Amino acid sequence: MIKLAAIIDGKALAAEVEKESLARAKRLAEKGIVPGLATLLVGENPASQMYIRLKHSACSRAGIRSENVLLPESSTEEEIIAKIQELNQREDINGILLQLPLPGGLNPQRAMMSILPKKDVDGFHPLNMGSLLLGVERLVPCTPLGIIYALERLDIRLEGAEVVIVGHSNVVGKPLAAMMLNRNATVQVCHVFTRDLAEHTRDAEILVVAAGVPGLIRKEMVRPGAYVFDVGINRVGDRTVGDVEYEAVSEIAGAITPVPGGVGPLTVAMLLRQTLKAAEEQTGSSQ
């Protein structure tokens, strides 16, 4: 009988974070502080609208006040930046999140750089990214933070661990590599130009896949007993699937995240943590 991998239940872990976050929010409320998050959505992308709803629902459960600022799809970069600057000036807004992607033709880089670093709950501002590379983790990208949180909750020792990350985006791959290095893991980062991907992935005690390619990682590419984090969210027909062949890889991995229900809920949960951290630091109420 084949023993299947343990499921890394992102929903359950996220529920724990929400509970912890609500307790932190209540402590702030006792001091007359209500943490606030503003999301900025440009246009009417259905997937983005769904993600915004999920984030606001989580905020409601965690005692965080949230509001969504909606701009028309015809908005210019200057109009988006002007709205962000308005939010920067508001004392009741501790965190600002610009929902990506922006409508075609708009480069998000300038807009994201206009968010004050202390309110950059996505962790994408160059000041926050630079601090991360220097080993000072201030506000950091939520998906890598969620993966680190899960590993810590699973009591996985990162010092000296062989970590392979497939995908070198600014959102997941690069910041996660830095966070792993900050914890003294040995890290390989693979991407579309990597030759013989399987040669690298089979080294991984911890394998993180964020390539956006359905079924990229097959059973023979995974080290027995590895911890596998599938960040991919792909629509194939009427199904949502990851970058890992879940059923087959489950037969060899030690533990694996499902899609959906794995890394996604953790990402949203880390947004709560980041917003609370920003609120505590801005009001001098840090734990």
Choosing from 83, 99, 119, 120, which is the catalytic residue?
Answer: 99
pLDDT digits (tens, 9 = 90+) for 149-188: 999 999 999 999 999 999 999 999 999 999 999 999 999 9
For 3-56, the DSSP string reads PPPEE--HHHHHHHHHHHHHHHHHHHHHTT---EEEEEEES--HHHHHHHHHHH
pLDDT at 287: 59
277 included as an active-site residue: no
Choosing from 118, 120, 122, 174, which is the catalytic residue?
Answer: 122
99 included as an active-site residue: yes
C-alpha distances (whole Å) from 278 to each of 36, 65, 71, 157, 248 are 10, 13, 25, 28, 41
Choosing from 55, 119, 174, 277, which is the catalytic residue?
Answer: 55
pLDDT at 2: 65
Mean pLDDT of 32-53: 95
Mean pLDDT of 76-92: 97
pLDDT at 80: 97
pLDDT digits (tens, 9 = 90+) for 46-65: 989 999 999 999 999 999 99
Average pLDDT, the chain: 96
